[in-house]
Amino acid sequence: MLDPGDKDFERSRDKAKEELARYVEEAGRKGRAEHLTERLIESKTGRHVEYARLDSLPTLWRNLGREIPACERYLAGCDIRFKRFAAFMQEANPAAEYLYEVLAAAM
């Protein structure tokens, strides 16, 4: 049986491990154009960049914060359009997984 050690030390070690993991991830991304773009967007909006997957567009659209809730008929029509678009992109550019990967040249 291992001695659990000093609790303050263990908390400090856990915090250091988390910080090291963040540092390693950041070091791996630094200098890439995507990373610089993300940092610019984060600095302008104050929010972390989240990329929309093509197959999740209907759900994302339904869960947008709206002042006036959209009716179910409208949302169902939007679901169909987003699903048709995702199906089209699977055919036109199967490598595109995220919305930012959709290019006019691929259509």
The pLDDT, as a whole number, for residue 29 is 67
pLDDT tens track for 3-39: 666 888 888 889 999 999 988 887 776 667 777 888 8
Determine what percent of the chain is predicted with pLDDT higher than 90.
Answer: 51
Q: Which of 14, 37, 24, 77 is nearest to 6 (CA)?
A: 14
pTM of the model: 0.57
Q: Which residue has the higher pLDDT, 104 or 31?
A: 104
Is residue 58 within 8 Å of 83, Cβ to Cβ?
A: yes
What is the C-alpha separation between 54 and 56, in angstroms, rounded?
5
Length of the chain: 107
Confidence bin at 55 (pLDDT 50/70/90): very high
